[in-house]
Amino acid sequence: MKMWNKTTKADFGKVILTWRHRDAGRFFGKIFSWLLGAFVFGILTSIFFAAIQLPDIALPAARIVFFIVFIFGLVNDLFRAIVNGYEYRITQKAIVYSHPFYGWERLGVLLGSAEKPFRQIYRYFFWQELKEIRELDHGILLVHRNENEIEVPVQNVIKLVMNLNLNKPEPKAKGSTKSEKTAYDKAVLRIVLQAARDARRDAINSKADQR
């Protein structure tokens, strides 16, 4: 499977469209990972205090470290997956997945800047790398030129921002009923799909004109 390219610089040209989507399944999948990670840190803490001849402190310290790591990890991913949602951008040069270091994104801005949040990573594919963009029930499918396929989720939309004129009306606000939410997600999906295809076409045509 083709992996996303990575960078810490958001140099992808103008942002055409941005959307965020909620992924509860991904959040619950992280619980075991954080539980295991916290357990390992707890054991290492216990070993450390035992090694420096402080066995009475080893167990309480291990418990404290366990809970700090576990709670921090869960809260971080709760903000990232549920509260804020995962952010994707369609830009002039690429499709971009923005991955903040902290789930509470304001903290990343405070430790860095609005233009360059602390340790924020951008995963991306340049449009020229993609052979085709297909529609899925829950999102879009990027077909790489090496024939690998990458799914990009759209379903469970939290936020949609259309930065450039796409000659498309923004979908009606997301309703409270299941049918209204489904209709909203489908409307956003159509906009995302068309915007991605148009951006890819324009990028390829622009590259050809420069030759």
State the pLDDT at residue 180: 82
What global pTM score does this model have? 0.85
Tens digit of each residue's pLDDT (9 = 90 or more) over 49-73 = 999 989 899 999 999 999 999 999 9
Same domain, 12 and 106: yes
Amino acid at site 7: T
* pLDDT above 80: residue 208: no
Same domain, 124 and 55: no
State the pLDDT at residue 65: 96
State the pLDDT at residue 165: 61
State the pLDDT at residue 10: 87
Same domain, 136 and 158: yes
Q: State how far the alpha carbon of 82 is from the alpha carbons of 157, 158, 205, in Å.
A: 11, 9, 38
* pLDDT above 60: residue 160: yes
Tens digit of each residue's pLDDT (9 = 90 or more) over 17-41 = 999 999 999 999 999 999 999 999 9
Same domain, 135 and 47: no
* pLDDT above 80: residue 211: no
Same domain, 42 and 119: no
Which of 58, 81, 104 is the endpoint of a domain?
81
Same domain, 64 and 115: no
State the pLDDT at residue 170: 65
**Whole domain around residue 56: which residue ranges?**
27-81
Same domain, 57 and 157: no
Same domain, 144 and 71: no
Same domain, 72 and 111: no
Decide which of 209 and 104 is more confident. 104
State the pLDDT at residue 168: 60
Same domain, 17 and 116: yes
Rounded Cα gap, residues 102 and 198, in angstroms:
32
Same domain, 74 and 110: no
Q: How many domains does the chain have?
A: 2
